[in-house]
Amino acid sequence: MTSQNAGWRQGAACVAALTFDVDAESPVLAEGRRYADHAMVMTHQAFGPLVGVPRILQMLKDVAQPATFFIPGLTAERYPAMVEQVIDSGHEIAHHSYTHRTPTSMTPSEERADFERALKVLDRFGITPVGHRAALWEASWQTPSLVAEYGLKYDSSLMDFDTPYRLETPAGTIAELPPHWSLDDWEQYAFLPNPRLGEVIQSPLTVADMWIHEIDAMRRHGAMFMLTCHPFLSGRAGRLEALRTVIETAMERGDVTFATCKAIAEATLRDPDLEARKLEPVSVPADLYPLE
């Protein structure tokens, strides 16, 4: 374990963040407004806030661990009682866009408007978020600057490290808490025939085994276990029990600390041994990689 990481880890071998993206209908609607007419698809997504979130909150209470819920503004407006449940349970609520449209699919002004609209919705619940996650993690080069400009402390969208770091933007310095697809339940469980947002239904036992292996590897390498789950997926009974097994196994290791993204970001920004980084946008000649 390197001394460089000792500060933000606060003495733990691995820091684990349990995060839940309560997307509900928003990622499907981002594929096309016509899907609002598909009752199966809409109810499939509604399982998350209606059933998945209450189950997850009870499980987190059972294991006595904190979590961060990234909630799109549209979801918060449609399911205010669910938002209140998360607030009453004492977990962190963070910014996850308004529409769940990806920043890379919008103009800079559209991304800003969507970002601001989400902030206004959360403010109605008395929530001042300190963190942000881009829809589908598809941040634009502008996204980190927006996070800093609006006073948030961290982003969780980029994938160039498996440890947190300080990120310098034109609008200020924030913490970046990198996720990865291997620690996302969408890649394990998501299945919808139309729109085709996923084509796999993995065994929860296989997924639990994979994630426990990742935790043990990260304990050796001093990394951050940034787990991303979706209540419409991991809120299903068998999958939730697999997630419980992952958490309880990590707790039994004795050297894994669970923390909210807010707490990890604060420790990252305080760590004097972490060098601040800047994003380097990729620019290539048009004749080398022409637009398709």
* Helix, strand or coil, per DSSP, at residue 210: helix
Average pLDDT score over the chain: 96
Q: What are φ and ψ of residue 162, in 5° steps?
A: -115, 20
Q: How many domains does the chain have?
A: 1
Domain assignment present for 108: no
pLDDT tens for each residue of 61-115: 999 999 999 999 999 999 999 999 999 999 999 999 999 999 999 999 999 999 9
Residue 75 lies in a domain: yes
More confident residue, 202 or 290: 202
CATH of the domain at 273: 3.20.20.370
Q: Is residue 169 part of a domain?
A: no
Does 148 reside within a domain? Answer: no
Are 183 and 174 in contact by the 8 Å Cβ rule? The answer is no
Band (pLDDT 50/70/90 cuts) for residue 6 is low
Within a domain: 110: no
On the question of pLDDT at 2 being above 50, the answer is no
Residue 142 domain-assigned?
no
Residue 1 predicted with pLDDT over 50 = no
32 part of a folded domain: yes
What range does the domain containing 248 cover?
A: 3-94+178-277
The answer as to whether 200 is a domain residue is yes
Checking if the pLDDT of 264 tops 80, the result is yes
Under the banding of pLDDT at 50, 70 and 90, the label for residue 286 is confident
210-238 pLDDT, tens digit per residue, is 999 999 999 999 999 999 999 999 999 99
